[in-house]
Amino acid sequence: MNNIAIITARSGSKGLKNKNILPLAGKPLMAYSIEAAVQSGIFSTVMVSTDSQEYADIARKYGAEVPFLRSAETSSDNAGSWDAVKEVLSGYEKKLGRRFDTVCLLQPTSPLRIADDIIGGYREFEDKAADAVTAVCEVDHSPEWCMTLDDSLSLQDFRKHTATVPRQKMDKYFRLNGALFIRKIKYSDSGIQILDQNEFAYIMDKRRSVDIDTIEDFEYAEFLMKKYVEKEKSS
């Protein structure tokens, strides 16, 4: 298959300024997603979709290509990642005459995702004959241990419920972790379709599922990253 990885890294983040290029354990944040994609060996093309020439230069330094910049329309706060993905696919087809069988969206805010996760996701994609595979991880706390509170703040009914449900017997719950989105692509006269009807989950380790949105997320990711580096040096 002819696969493309797209790392969406617009500039101007408001929550954490320039988070996509903030130095994390010595490298710009987006570098980890680029390197994981390249190391997986899955892709004919690893591309960074960005509206910034500075970001583009950094992306190329770490092994991605940036044949064109992201438009103002897909860089706005109202645009989603899939708008940027569709723009990239259209640009490759119309400007470069290139088409792909699958696209893998890799958000740069998931720096602990590794090449093996991407390989595992594509293995799931092929084994299930899927249209789409999306990464998930187990939640830290079961929804069965969550509650709503009325004005009285009483825990009486909640205590009755949790007293009858041992933690070990609770069902496992999962959440989307934002690290990996694999989709089949269909080209036709009516345009480019990104398929997601026949979708399956790829389960990732919670420790590699950190999604950076705040400075606290960033500091936690850096703590884990340094811990992994030290472990590799000692092994």
pLDDT of the residue at 74: 81
- Report the SS3 class of residue 22: coil
What whole-number distance in Å separates Cα of residue 10 and Cα of residue 206? 26
Q: What is the pTM of this model?
A: 0.90
Q: Which residues contact 198 (CB under 8 A, 6 or more apart)?
A: 128, 129, 130, 131, 132
The domain covering 3-138+175-234 belongs, at the CATH homologous superfamily level, to: Spore Coat Polysaccharide Biosynthesis Protein SpsA; Chain A (3.90.550.10)
pLDDT score recorded for residue 162: 63
pLDDT tens per residue across span 142-159: 887 777 888 999 888 777
pLDDT of residue 72: 85
Specify whether the CB–CB gap between 101 and 43 falls below 8 A: no
Q: Point out the residues of the chain with pLDDT beneath 50.
A: 233
Q: pLDDT digit string (tens) for 176-192? A: 999 999 999 999 998 99
Residue extents of the structural domains in the chain: 3-138+175-234
